[in-house]
Structure 1
Amino acid sequence: MSATNPTTAASAPAPHSHGAGELPISRIDVRGSFDVTAFPVPSGREEEWRFTPLRRLRGLHQDAAEGQEVSSDVTVEVTAADGVVAETVARTDSRLGTSFLPTDRISARAYASFTEATVLTVPKETEVAEPVTVKVTGHGPERPENRSFGHTLINVERHASATVVLDYSGSAVYADNVEVVLGDGARLTLISLQDWDRGAAHVSHQYDRIGRDATLRSFSVTLGGDLVRVSPSVRYDGPGGDAELRGLYYTGAGQHHEHRSLIDHNVSRTRSRADYKGALSGADAHAVWIGDVIIGEGTEGTDSYEHNHNLVLTDGTRVDSVPNLEIFTGEVEGAGHASASGRLDDVHLFYLQSRGIPADEARRLVIRGFFAEFINRIELPQLRQRISDEVEEKLAEHE
């Protein structure tokens, strides 16, 4: 836990660089901008980039060369349920970019570079029974240097409710921003599935604005890709807002999976939970979780907790798990964090084997149980089965 004097917050957009021995940057210092040039090209020494292998971003973080700015390697298909208005709009649509500011160079570049956006609107007091699916498919870059960019706006109006699935697959070098705006009393279940082919690189920012007494249940599942970096952030527009960010990742040989959550309790009487679970197996598998929670000055009644748990299944893997909690008030209902990374529990394995279950099957059962709570919370049977099947496939790769 750290406390920082908010009066010292910087006014420039994220120019920070920290060397050895310096304290990590306070997230309250970070300022956003739509101007790509406001953010220097990362060197890898910055706190916010030090875990990310920049060369594997394949230029998403750099200046765009001529002919690289727009690519048609990615298509977006929307399956909209009754009651949802789904639109494909030009980047000049006045609704875009009104609820957030990009907080790093890739996010700003993605906003400056997309040509069309997907806008989903759930009208006020509408309850949508069937899920809405936004399928983003990469068709393999025509040239290795191509990059693709996207933008999605999800607007759930006052006292409406819906479930939205963002389904990423195929192969691409892709960056996108997802704006989520919940009106007062709205409810949204958002499921983001990063199921890319092994050669893909994907950097996604999800900006969530939660209205008074609104509820967000967010699930992020990362299984594929060469490099995937997902950064959800939450801000509240009124008291009573409730956000749950849950993540599941299975990082295999050579994969880099990075999740960076930020929850800003900027108003009183808000609640949040962040719970990320991961497993790693195979040489050079690297998983990163950074969890930032800010409880703002003058707020009261905040209830927040964040947790990360990793299972290390083979040698040669790396886990970086960093929970951060910044509190600027003494009027807190609850705040805490926890992080644990380690191998399978020998006691659990011994218990199962002592009852005649072979070692390989006992191992599978423990890992299934580790992920089961997360998967069972997803109220879409077909998606639950798909995630379970893919976890089983990854388990089989390293038996």
Structure 2
Amino acid sequence: MSATPATTDTTAGPLVEPVVRPGSTGHTDGAWADRPVPVQTRSERFASTDPAAFPAVTGREVDWKLSPVQRLRPLIDGQLDGSPYAYLARETPGASVEWVGPDHELVGAAGKPEDKASANAWSSVENVLLVTLSGDEASSITVGRSGLDQTPRAGHTVVHATANSSGIVILQNSGAANLVENVEIVVDEGAHLTVVSVQEWDDDAIHLSTQFATIGRDAQLKHFVVSLGGSIVRVNPSAHLAGQGGDADLNGVYFADAGQHLEQQVYVNHDAPNTKSRVNYKGALQGDGARTVWIGDVLIGRAAPGTDSYEQNRNLVLSEGTRADSIPNLEIETGDILGAGHASATGRFDDEHLFYLESRGIPEEEARRIVVLGFLSEIVQRIGDQALQDRLQASLEQELAEGARARAEADAQHGSSRAAAYTDKLPGSGPTPTAAGYAAKLAEAASTEGTV
């Protein structure tokens, strides 16, 4: 029996050509020669200040797939108001704040946009806010923004620490906002700079912020992202360790309530010998629909022997109906390093911690407050500005108090249907005892039965 040769359907239409995204290259293997290859490493992502150079955002892209893209459309590809806005900053020795043109020599020194929203803001601004630290003595300056209204707006800020200077720059955000912005941080040789970006927006505010940093030889950057208020807040910091001996310490603390979306995409690029980085982000979630996203990318390049790097993200879930995405990524292109690692954990409130405190007579809500504040305060206490630390500590306590009120109202409305944190399961027990009484019952059971 002879085989019938397969026929070719000449009426079939041509193959649909794939969308070629900026930064991709063609395969050189067989039939795939004309098809694009996805970006293989974080440093190869396409970057441009022209929003038209980016393809339309669909929400399936790697940097947008966890974001509520449809609600962000006006900022991603809409028309933006790029005019200067009102800000508040006190005169501080060794520090200055001024508006400069978008053609200033420092604009673009720290990086270029890697997404369409960032490029849209870059091309829309009329002026750039320049914050300069140049004093020999350590200085601290706060730049406050409030009441930007709901008009889609673009912003651009450059923070420059000159050679061997030191100080703290606090970017304080509050009030109404519908803002997309770029923040560039330039840390010259030998400088020690701390930048704190605080988001305490109104409940309906939307804020997209891309924050680039370049760190020179033997320079140090401590960077903090504190996100507490707003409807959608997406802050994406990146640090380019471009000089030998550079040090990047990136930290974040966030508290998502019902309906809030708080997102951080962190990138550290080790591009010089003997550089060091630490990434430490912590968050808490409470209330139906609370959502957090953390993505951490660390690249140790071929030109970075002697690198010491570690990143971690911890999330504490305080109620049902929340979601926390945590994705650490590590790329290593050289084997000559001191160390590199990453960690990620998301878990519910620890009943053992709560039981320990309640067994010593501490009421449940107070015990919850102690545990959560202890978890988040580690980041806050490292900022280095006592007044700001105290205020943020009070803000975290307020978040917890609001959560306690919400739980009390829900219990009252539904007849205290919420399950108790601990339930007495011992044979012959009566009503649920106190934590101290329960501890006594456990001890008694252990002595009579040999097990708990």
Give me the TM-score of the superposition, normalised by structure 2.
0.79
Judging changes above 3 Å, is the alpha-carbon distance between structure 1 residues 73 and 349 closer, same or farther for their aligned structure 2 residues? Answer: farther
> Share of identical aligned residues, percent?
44
Q: Which residue of 1 aligns with 2:187?
A: 182
Aligned ranges 1:321-332 → 2 under 5 Å = 321-332=326-337
Q: Which residue of 1 aligns with 2:140?
A: 131
Q: Aligned residues, how many? A: 374
Q: Which whole-Å deviations, capped at 9, do the CAs of 1:175-216 have from their partners, x for residues lacking one?
A: 111111111110001111011001111010111000000000
Distance (whole Å) between structure 2 residues aligned to residue 268 and residue 349 of structure 1: 46
Contact 2:82 2:126 in 1 (8 A): no
Q: Which whole-Å deviations, capped at 9, do the CAs of 1:297-351 have from their partners, x for residues lacking one?
A: 2421000000000000000000100000011111111000000001121221111
Aligned ranges 1:1-399 → 2 under 5 Å = 13=22, 26-62=41-77, 64=78, 68-70=79-81, 74-123=85-134, 126-141=135-150, 146-399=151-404
Say which one has the larger Rg.
2
SS at match of 1:61: helix
Distance (whole Å) between structure 2 residues aligned to residue 185 and residue 58 of structure 1: 41
Alignment-mate amino acid for residue 28 of structure 1: S
SS at match of 2:390: helix
Distance (whole Å) between structure 1 residues aligned to residue 374 and residue 109 of structure 2: 42
Distance (whole Å) between structure 2 residues aligned to residue 60 and residue 15 of structure 1: 25
Alpha-carbon deviation of 1:89? 1.6
Alpha-carbon deviation of 1:40? 1.4
| Mean CA deviation greater in 301-310 or 100-109 | 100-109
RMSD (Å) for aligned C-alpha atoms:
2.0
Q: Which of structures 1 and 2 has the larger relative contact order (alpha carbons within 8 angstroms, sep 6+)?
A: 1
SS at match of 1:393: helix
SS at match of 1:282: coil
Structure with the higher fraction of residues in helix conformation: 2
Alpha-carbon deviation of 1:370? 0.5
Alpha-carbon deviation of 1:14? 5.1
Alignment-mate amino acid for residue 146 of structure 2: T
Alignment-mate amino acid for residue 199 of structure 2: Q
Q: Which residue of 1 aligns with 2:3?
A: none
Distance (whole Å) between structure 1 residues aligned to residue 248 and residue 51 of structure 2: 29
Alpha-carbon deviation of 1:267? 1.3
Judging changes above 3 Å, is the alpha-carbon distance between structure 1 residues 268 and 87 closer, same or farther for their aligned structure 2 residues? Answer: same
Alpha-carbon deviation of 1:91? 2.4
SS at match of 2:86: strand
Judging changes above 3 Å, is the alpha-carbon distance between structure 1 residues 128 and 77 closer, same or farther for their aligned structure 2 residues? Answer: farther
Alignment-mate amino acid for residue 121 of structure 1: T
Distance (whole Å) between structure 2 residues aligned to residue 109 and residue 25 of structure 1: 25
Q: Which residue of 2 aligns with 1:6?
A: none
SS at match of 2:312: strand
Q: Which whole-Å deviations, capped at 9, do the CAs of 1:112-161 have from their partners, x for residues lacking one?
A: 111221112223xx2344411111223322xxxx3111111111111111
Alignment-mate amino acid for residue 383 of structure 2: I
Alignment-mate amino acid for residue 392 of structure 1: E
Contact 2:111 2:184 in 1 (8 A): yes
Contact 1:128 1:163 in 2 (8 A): no
Alpha-carbon deviation of 1:15? 6.4
Distance (whole Å) between structure 1 residues aligned to residue 147 and residue 257 of structure 2: 21
Alignment-mate amino acid for residue 273 of structure 1: R
Give me the TM-score of the superposition, normalised by structure 1.
0.89
Distance (whole Å) between structure 2 residues aligned to residue 78 and residue 193 of structure 1: 15
Judging changes above 3 Å, is the alpha-carbon distance between structure 1 residues 196 and 396 closer, same or farther for their aligned structure 2 residues? Answer: same
Judging changes above 3 Å, is the alpha-carbon distance between structure 1 residues 343 and 298 closer, same or farther for their aligned structure 2 residues? Answer: same
Alignment-mate amino acid for residue 39 of structure 1: F
Distance (whole Å) between structure 2 residues aligned to residue 80 and residue 287 of structure 1: 36
Alpha-carbon deviation of 1:41? 2.2
Distance (whole Å) between structure 1 residues aligned to residue 343 and residue 50 of structure 2: 36
Alpha-carbon deviation of 1:286? 0.4
Alpha-carbon deviation of 1:23? 8.9
SS at match of 2:282: strand
